[in-house]
Amino acid sequence: MFFLFGLTSRERMLFARNATCHFCGQYVPQRVLQRRTKLTVFFIPLVTLNRKRLMVCSNCGATSKISAGQQRAMAG
């Protein structure tokens, strides 16, 4: 038997919110993204291996990982 395994990651933007960037210190929109890494078999995504929330600064482009709690606090 032959299986073709691979990994694919997709990003989805959840929302953007003004916040102070930890890197550049500017109060600018921060985009909150969700990145999912999936295991693919014959290019069909089957299992989600990893789910990360990322915050991307619109000023300096710095990306930082945030927790679910931080995401809720920002969304609220």
Binding site for Zn ion (CB under 5 A): 21, 23-24, 57, 59-60, 62
Beta carbon of residue 17, minimum distance to Zn ion (angstroms, whole number): 14
First-residue to last-residue Cα distance in the chain: 50
Q: How far is the CB of 60 from Zn ion (least distance, A)?
A: 3
Please, what is the minimum distance in Å from the beta carbon of residue 19 to Zn ion? 10
Nearer to Zn ion, 34 or 59 (CB): 59
Check: CB of residue 17 under 8 Å from CB of residue 32: yes
Name 16's Cβ contacts closer than 8 Å, sequence gap at least 6: 29, 30, 31, 32, 58
